[in-house]
Structure 1
Amino acid sequence: MTASAQDVVKTFRQSLDARAAFEVPYRHYTISRALPADVITELNTLPFKAPGLEGVSGRRELHNNTRSYFDVANMAKYPVMRAVADAFQDQSIVNYIAERFEAPIDDTFLRLEYAMDIDGFWLEPHTDLGVKKFTCLLYLSDEAGHEDLGTDMYVSKEQHFGRAPFVPGNAMIFVPSDNTWHGFEKRAINGVRKSVILNYVTHEWKAREQLSFPEAPVRVG
């Protein structure tokens, strides 16, 4: 049985309370047990097929037509997606994120991507600066070798710094700025690397169909 949105809210808040903060290479945070265990299990077993790369990678937008989201249609079909989206739309979570991380998410929209990455995938360093006002990269899969598949961090676009640990239920969090360089160095991926990419985005976000609640921006207060 899928956990309720309030179960997700409670677990996520507890995880944020125990967050670890880092100042290098830029201010970021890591959390563990970000979602209830049964939610992690259900998300891992959603019947989405990982899209092929067709020999092309480096930016996710190169494959926009095969990406999956916690959108209106998928939330109606999969209760676990609805519970997670409802939780991150919840007023208490919105306020908590805004206050604890000084994230400018008032009057933004919730965007949740269900990311499935296969061997050959890589991402060039980028900052998320612009229409994304908060980023949380939440890891799901637990196949052999996935512990080395965390997000890569950079001092600059050219200088690699290190990598977040990839553990199911763990997440890396940051508020996008001009130095929040991150990406994914090309390396072997066994099976499918699954994660949830959580962003709050501004009204300038053009792909409204990707949003969980395209007519309902979150409000801080």
Structure 2
Amino acid sequence: MRESVAVKHPIGRNRPSTAADIVTSFIRSVDTAKKSERPYPNWALEHCFPVDTVEDILALPFEPPSLDGVSGKRELHNNTRKYFDVDNRKRFPVCEAVAQAFQDKRVTGHIEKVFGTDLGGTYLRIEFAQDIDGFWLEPHTDLGVKVFTMLLYLSTDPSHKDLGTDIYDINKQHVGRSAFASNAAMVFVPSNDTYHGFEKRPIKGVRTSLIINYVTNEWRAREQLSFPDAPIA
């Protein structure tokens, strides 16, 4: 079920995009983002990463985990979840480049300025999510130890256009769904009303995304962090 992508870098480029390239691309996507106030402030971003970076992420050799008939919360499958952690940063250049970009002061400062959150003393956590048929998520807010959430959609299957994140109001009533397109993202700052989830519906192949968070020092699973000894200054 693994989505297979042949990595082809842009014509004229003889190297993969660097962390600096990702910084430039991401900041540009933030500056052109579309903001919605309903039912809570959230932003829709496009063209977040260089194209070859998306291709390299999709080519990572991680098999999608089996759900074993159980879903509703990602933590139900903690033993099979994948991250751009210390080990994978060492193994895969694209994991290192993306992690370094989101650790960069230009990115963290821009996130604070545009989205109105304080990242000081937080830690970067990037999850490589691969969702298969049978997956669903109950409405939840991310409130607590997460101070920033970015859901970056990656898979390129045209049938995934309706597989965006479901959005709920304070009463957990469904009010909308983010657009799903490869290299596009939904961003919000967790609060007590930022309910989101994923209504169960058919998934063809693998719904691939990155879940990018900055978390406080209270985050217990330090092995998931990209830089567990380097909080954001």
Fold agreement, TM-score > 0.5: yes
Which residue is 2:210 aligned to? 196
CA separation of 1:19 and 1:144: change in aligned 2, threshold 3 A? closer
Q: Could you tell me whether the CA contact under 8 Å between 2:172 and 2:195 is conserved in 1?
A: no
Which residue is 2:156 aligned to? 142
1:1-221 matches, cutoff 5 A = 1-219=15-233
Q: What is the CA–CA distance in structure 2 between the aligned matches of 1:2 and 1:114, rounded to whole Å?
A: 19
* Residue 100 (structure 1) shift: 1.1
Letter in 1 for 2:87: A
* Residue 157 (structure 1) shift: 4.8
* Residue 98 (structure 1) shift: 0.8
Q: Could you tell me whether the CA contact under 8 Å between 1:6 and 1:87 is conserved in 2?
A: yes
CA separation of 1:137 and 1:116: change in aligned 2, threshold 3 A? same
Question: Is there any run of 5+ residues in structure 2 with no aligned partner, and where?
Answer: 1-14
Q: What is the CA–CA distance in structure 1 between the aligned matches of 2:137 and 2:222, rounded to whole Å?
A: 23
Partner SS state of residue 56, structure 2: helix
TM-score (norm 1): 0.98
Q: What is the CA–CA distance in structure 2 between the aligned matches of 1:96 and 1:144, rounded to whole Å?
A: 32
Q: Could you tell me whether the CA contact under 8 Å between 1:125 and 1:157 is conserved in 2?
A: no
Identity in percent: 54
Letter in 1 for 2:121: D
Q: What is the CA–CA distance in structure 2 between the aligned matches of 1:179 and 1:28, rounded to whole Å?
A: 12
Q: Could you tell me whether the CA contact under 8 Å between 1:136 and 1:171 is conserved in 2?
A: yes
Q: Could you tell me whether the CA contact under 8 Å between 1:126 and 1:157 is conserved in 2?
A: no
Question: Is there any run of 5+ residues in structure 1 with no aligned partner, and where?
Answer: none
Which residue is 2:9 aligned to? none
Aligned-CA RMSD value: 0.7
Q: Which runs of 4+ in 1 moved over 6 A?
A: none
Q: What is the CA–CA distance in structure 1 between the aligned matches of 2:111 and 2:18, rounded to whole Å?
A: 20
TM-score (norm 2): 0.93
Letter in 2 for 1:169: N
Q: Could you tell me whether the CA contact under 8 Å between 1:137 and 1:195 is conserved in 2?
A: yes
Matched pairs, number = 219
Post-superposition CA distance 1:95-149 (Å, at most 9, x none): 1101111112111000000000000000000000000000000000011410111
* Residue 45 (structure 1) shift: 1.3
Q: Could you tell me whether the CA contact under 8 Å between 2:125 and 2:212 is conserved in 1?
A: yes
Q: 136-145 or 198-207, which moves further after superposition?
A: 136-145
Partner SS state of residue 208, structure 2: strand
* Residue 180 (structure 1) shift: 0.3
Letter in 2 for 1:100: V
Partner SS state of residue 69, structure 2: coil
Partner SS state of residue 214, structure 2: strand
